[in-house]
Structure 1
Amino acid sequence: MSTSTPSSPSGPASGSADPLAPLGELPGVAEAVAETRRAVDRLYGHRVMRRRADEVTSEAALRGARASAALDGADWPLEEVRRRTDFGRDLEARTVGGALRLGVESGQLLGTWRHSPLQVLARLHLLAVGDADGPAVGRPRQAGEPAEELFRHRVAATEKVETELPADLTFPPAPAAAEVSARLDTLAQLLASRGGAKHPNERTAPALVVAAVVHGELLTLRPFTNANGLVARAATRIVLIAEGLDPKAICPVEVGLAELGTDAYRAALTGYASGTAAGMAAWIAHCAQAMRLGVRESTAVCEAMQRGMA
């Protein structure tokens, strides 16, 4: 996390038992977290989830993968993603294929994530790039290796953005490899520290806040030479499972991010990268809104399944 972030210390050994806990107290964050929690609970209580939860999970993974690929420039119709089997012909096809592989396997990496998130990030990058060769595959970039530019492709918004996003900030360039390595180590230590026993009176950050920080940190750092967006969104999904907010992975936050559009995504992420309280709060609220839209998507899936029941 940025050392300029007043509410996000640079390491897990700071004064609070959970360094991310203060982020849950930023203006508007508690309300966004509570609203999202209610939406998720309603979806988990849907009658279809009693018998067909695995089908909902599979459909959410497919729709989330399609949306994640769209944010990286491969905006294919859902039915095209569903029917295709060849994902190696061109860049768009490889992007969709990488998103699908991440959707299938990310949930299986939960055990490793709890004690070695950096190992999981390396695996996510391998899944994202597929059979591509090169010395930078499956490891963070090193000195002299450039990071890809984010948001090269624009996805138009289909939903109104509810939060006020910072308009006077510039998205920073990717940090140097040495800073990337140090911040990844800090992030890994912080995540590992959350697995220990907590005193009942200790403040802990809500799952949504943790997911937003992991998401924002990975996109800000751009630790790999390519596929950083796919990796960051897959890692966010793992956090939501691990932290218990979406244990069955039925809330495709990627769908919500795509519906809100690339411009809003970039603006909100710029707020995170600024390290200011207002910017962090706006980023968390944006992630919350995206997750609620993902809940809406899966609720529609459940309703369709219910109508088709015998």
Structure 2
Amino acid sequence: MTTDPLAPLLELADIAAAVEAARDQIDQALRHRALRRNGGQVAAEVGLRSAIASAALEGAAYEREAVRAGTVTDPVVQGALRVAGALPGLSDLWPKAPRQALARLHVLAARDVVPAEELGRPVTDPLVAARLETLAGLVAGGSATSPLVLAAVVHGELLALRPFAGPSAVVARAAARLTLLSSGLDPRGLVGVDIGHLERQPEYVGAARAFATGTPDGIRSWLRHYTAAVEVAAAQLVEIGDEVLAGV
């Protein structure tokens, strides 16, 4: 009998409860009545805010309305917007061919940022390659744990590895969201976790560094942050739904 490699993470102090609470917040947010008739409008707004947040975490921070108006030409912002728009179309590919999906995300994120010959190509480091292969195995059915735990591990591992040139962290955040989409937990891409990461940015940076140590305390710190960011994203979804219903 094969042991799920991620199952022990739910045994870390407070993590199972934090994962359950975050999932409950997602479930409640996804029942917002704005999603019945205005789901597309809500999803578009979540995508915009998530892209802006991911770019800001990469050092390219701009006002939301300027990005919405199309006046921001920063290539990192434009890449994050392309990535956000592509996520629904990559959700089927992700669990089947995660390496291919990552390459596609990097092409979208890093265009006009890194040389063309580096687009979609991981760095040539044997250790990075080995860990990417392990991560791909988890995504492709190697773990049956909570999608929230898997998404957090995908995100944290890709942040630690930085397997691509340029805005590699944009790819990491997108891959984590893809995990939620493809698992069916967030099939419409309405949970903009990147918004939560930006709101809790100092914690995000510190917890990511802690995760990279590989220690139980470090991993627990990252999982606690990730579930907290998910709860922020769920609250943001409710706020966006309310705005759409109010015609804002």
Is TM > 0.5 for Structure 1 vs Structure 2?
yes
Where do 1:223-302 residues align within 5 Å?
A: 223-261=163-201, 263-302=202-241
Q: Does 1:179 align with 2:127?
A: yes
| Percent of pairs with identical residues | 41
Based on CA coordinates, which of the two structures has the bigger radius of gyration?
A: 1
Instruction: Say yes or no: does 1:33 pair with 2:47.
Output: no
May I ask how many residue pairs the two structures share in their alignment? Answer: 247
Name the CA distance, whole Å, in 2 between partners of 1:237 and 1:85. 26
Match status 1:23 vs 2:9: yes
| Alpha carbons of structure 1 residues 304 and 86: separation in structure 2 relative to 1, 3 Å | closer
CA deviation string 1:49-106 (max 9, x = no partner): 111111111110000000000001111011011011562xxxxx00100000000002
Return the letter of the residue paired with 1:103: A
Question: How far has the Cα of 1:15 moved from its partner?
Answer: 4.2
Distance in 1 (CA, whole Å) between partners of 2:177 and 2:95 is 14
Q: Secondary structure in 2 aligned to 1:140? A: coil
- Contact 1:22–1:205 at 8 Å: present in 2 too? no
TM-score by length of 1: 0.76
Match of 1:76 in 2: 62
Unaligned ranges ≥5, structure 2: none
After TM superposition, the structure 1 = structure 2 runs for residues 1-310 of structure 1, keeping only pairs within 5 Å, are 15-16=2-3, 18-84=4-70, 87=73, 93-131=74-112, 132-142=114-124, 177-194=125-142, 204-261=144-201, 263-308=202-247
Q: Distance in 1 between matches of 2:116 and 2:30?
A: 42
Cα distance in 1 for partners of 2:33, 2:161 equals 41
- Cα offsets for 1:182-211 (capped at 9, x unmatched): 11011112221248xxxxxxxx31111000
TM-score after normalising by structure 2: 0.95
Q: Structure 2 counterpart of 1:101, which letter?
A: R
Which one has the bigger helix percentage?
A: 2
Post-superposition shift, 1:244?
Answer: 2.0
CA deviation profile, 1:96-155 (whole Å, cap 9, x unmatched): 00000000002211121121100011111000012453432211012xxxxxxxxxxxxx
CA separation in 2, counterparts of 1:265 and 1:214? 15
CA contact 2:196–2:228 (8 Å) conserved in 1 = yes
SS of the counterpart of 2:13? coil
Whether the 8 Å contact between 2:211 and 2:218 is mirrored in structure 1 is yes
> What secondary structure, in the 3-state scheme, does the structure 2 residue paired with 1:23 have?
helix
